[in-house]
Amino acid sequence: MKELEIISGKPYRIYIDNNLDKLSTVLEENKINSKMKCFLITDDKVYKLHKDVIEKLKKSLNMELYYFKNGEESKDFHTIEGIYSFLIENNCNRNSLLIALGGGVVGDLVGFVASTFMRGIKYVNIPTTLLSQVDSSVGGKVGYNFKGIKNIIGSFHNPEFVYIGTNFLKTLEKKQFIDGLGEIVKYSLIRDDGMLAYLKENYKGILERENDKLLYLVKGCLKIKKDIIEQDYEDLGIRNILNFGHTVGHGLEITSKENLSHGEAVALGSLVAIRLSEDILKLPKRIYNEVEEVLKKLNLPIKHKVDNYKLFMYAINHDKKNDDSIKFVLLSKIGEPKIKMEVTKEQLYHAIKDSIG
Ligand code: GLY
């Protein structure tokens, strides 16, 4: 098992393994035992898929179970109210612990509840999707969507620990697995540590979800994320590089009416950002072809027609990561992202046409 210590805000550890065999030892190490009242919160899909894990935890902990409907539509205040009510009805107190078991929606909602219930209680995160294992479970960002704006309400609240079992990834649907790969390609571009070449050479094993490949990717991404959030936990500067590909990605995700997953949209957004980087930062043209080839190998999209350009621009301009103008994270080289690069609407229009359009 590999461990990473995150020193930003309240420090915590990430445990990374294929399986959950060492979870009971980790719980003990973190002084979580049957004397503590625990609340495992998940969604109906994860509940059905991983009943065995939940039953095992139930035997060793004093644990109540709550689950809500799977999906991004559940990431709202209605679900949060349901969790608050359940916690109150079951006498959750300031010494209780929440356990998030699931993807990014579960982790973000449970983290938000933990940050607000009785002014803050403890939680642990056991992410089950590739996207949440490589990104959202680490960094302390928790929250929910409101009035159609993603993650507009939220806070920072670190877990007691994050336990990653890559075996969870074996039961993901293909689209959901590929969703996470889009975010991994982003990591391979913002840091030059050989991950892009690794993706190119090992794509078959990755798509077959071989253990060593999964562990390599999860550890690799989290090492990058650790380094970034330790410099800028509150997302006031350098952490913004994690949004590479996300400005256009966000607009595509909204206008595609859920045909594109987050990771697919980020992959397309990365191509547009690379095209803009050629124009604005003189990024060598060969990078585009290299990234396009990797995306194809990983079954990620490389073309997408923006159906409703007006709505797309509206979504981009209302992205909370932007001020008045459209600001992008661009690349001067692989591993050298530059934040807050101003892009005109015309430059963006041409870049889309010359890349994914
Ligand atoms: N997922 C972007 C961040 O954690 O800042």
- Over the stretch 181-210, which tens digit does the pLDDT of each residue have? 999 999 999 999 999 999 999 999 999 999
Q: Are residues 130 and 204 in the same domain?
A: no
CATH of the domain at 57: 3.40.50.1970
Output the pLDDT for position 318.
Answer: 64
In a mutational test of the pocket of ligand 1, which residue from 183, 238, 242, 253 has the highest number of ligand atoms less than 8 Å from its CB? 242
Number of domains in the chain: 2
Q: Judge contact between 251 and 307, C-beta under 8 A.
A: no
Angle in degrees, CA 296, 297, 300, rounded to 5: 45
Cα-Cα end-to-end distance for the chain? 44
pTM, rounded to two decimals: 0.95
Is residue 57 located within the same domain as residue 144?
yes
CA torsion through residues 188, 194, 197, 198, sign: negative
Task: Write down which residue in 171, 200, 233 finishes a domain.
Answer: 171
Most informative mutation of 135, 179, 247 for ligand 1 (most atoms within 8 A of CB): 135
Tens-digit pLDDT profile for residues 84-110: 999 999 999 999 999 999 999 999 999
pLDDT above 70 coverage of the chain, percent: 98
Q: Pull the structure tokens for residue 30.
A: 């973190």
Give yes or no: residues 210 and 347 share one domain: yes
Strand, coil or helix: 150: strand
The model's pLDDT over 226-268, given as tens digits with 9 standing for 90+, comes to 999 999 999 999 999 999 999 999 999 989 987 999 999 999 9
Distance 215 CA to ligand 1 centre (A): 20
Nearest to 296 by CA among 195, 157, 182, 126: 182
Residues 336-350 have a mean pLDDT of: 95
**Which of residues 120, 149, 171 is at a domain's end?**
171
Q: Is 139 in the pocket of ligand 1 (CB under 6 A)?
A: yes
For the cut 70, the answer to whether the pLDDT of residue 126 exceeds it is yes
Residue (of 81, 33, 26) closest to 61 by Cα position: 33
Task: Assign residue 299 the CATH number of its domain.
Answer: 1.20.1090.10
The answer to whether 217 touches 18, Cβ cutoff 8 Å, is no
Residue with the larger pLDDT of the pair 313 and 213: 213
| Residue 300 and residue 227 share a domain | yes
Closest CA to 131 of 172, 177, 168: 177
139 CA from centroid of ligand 1 (Å):
7
Statement: residue 322 has pLDDT above 80: no
User: Ligand 1, atom 4: nearest CA belongs to which residue?
Assistant: 139
The domain in which residue 189 lies consists of 174-353
Ligand 1 binding pocket includes 235 (Cβ within 6 Å): yes
CA-to-CA distance for 212 and 217, rounded, in angstroms?
A: 9
Same-domain check for residues 106 and 249: no
Cα distance between residue 77 and residue 110, in whole Å: 12
Mean pLDDT across 16-28: 94
Same domain, 159 and 221: no
